[in-house]
Amino acid sequence: MRTPAQIAGHPIHPMLVPIPIGLWIFSLVCDFLAMGSSAPAAWATTSFYAMVGGIIGALAAALPGLVDLLSLRHTPIRPTALKHMGLNLTIVALYVVNVWIRRDQAAAAPGGTALLLSLVAIAMLLVSGWLGGKMVYEAGVAVHTEGLGAAAVRERSAPDRSGAWSSMPAASARQHAMASDPKRPARDPLDRPSAGPSGENPRE
């Protein structure tokens, strides 16, 4: 199922979503390191800016995602896509609130509310990722199926490096070799061996 937001046949949304996911997970890791450090400023500051970068990356991924969503009208997977979008928007909103809470204390270890927001957002991110995987691997969203049949035929008919027709059964490979030999005379499959000098069939 092709989606319209793509570059050279590659869908854009799946290329961008790892950016916010990675940054937000890294931000949570930095939070824990800041809480366990005697000098939390470096880890807390890194967490804050990773969170901001995740928001920017999520907004960049949201635009092609919205374009793809609009192309899924009247499809059975549309309800799942709407849930996926709703979760993602909620996650972005949670991180915007989180950044707002931390804005004056970006170099300090996160407080309980800020840490709780990050944990809830990551949990929702797991559910959103599961829905996204369901759309791709079960419904084939953004998967280009055109031409797969022809490619499969070419793969089955192509010889391997040893020159053998590896994907064919042995009998079919022999028949193919016999048919492609120009020096071998054609033979009727119903032909039987001729009788010997004594008039007896040599196979009898």
* Three-class DSSP labels, 47-102: HHHHHHHHHHHHHHHHHHHHHHHHCCCCCCCHHHHHHHHHHHHHHHHHHHHHHHHH
Write down the pLDDT at residue 161. Answer: 57
Report field, pTM of the whole predicted structure over 0.75: no
Secondary element (H or E) of residue 6: strand 6-7
Dist. CA 69–CA 63, nearest whole Å? 10
Q: What is the pLDDT of residues 80-123, one digit of tens each?
A: 889 999 999 999 999 999 999 999 888 898 999 999 999 999 99
Token duo for residue 48: 């804050």
Confidence of residue 168 (pLDDT cuts 50, 70, 90): very low
End-to-end CA distance of the chain: 61
3-state secondary structure of 30: helix
List the one residue out of 74, 68, 55 whose CA is nearest residue 136.
68
Dist. CA 137–CA 142, nearest whole Å? 10
Write down the pLDDT at residue 202. Answer: 52
Mean pLDDT over 51-79 rounds to 89
Token duo for residue 89: 């928007």
- Interacting residues of 141 by C-beta distance below 8 A, sequence separation 6+: 1, 3, 68, 72, 77, 81, 135
Q: What is the pLDDT of residues 127-142, one digit of tens each?
A: 999 998 888 777 777 6
Mean pLDDT over 161-186 rounds to 53
Write down the pLDDT at residue 61. Answer: 92
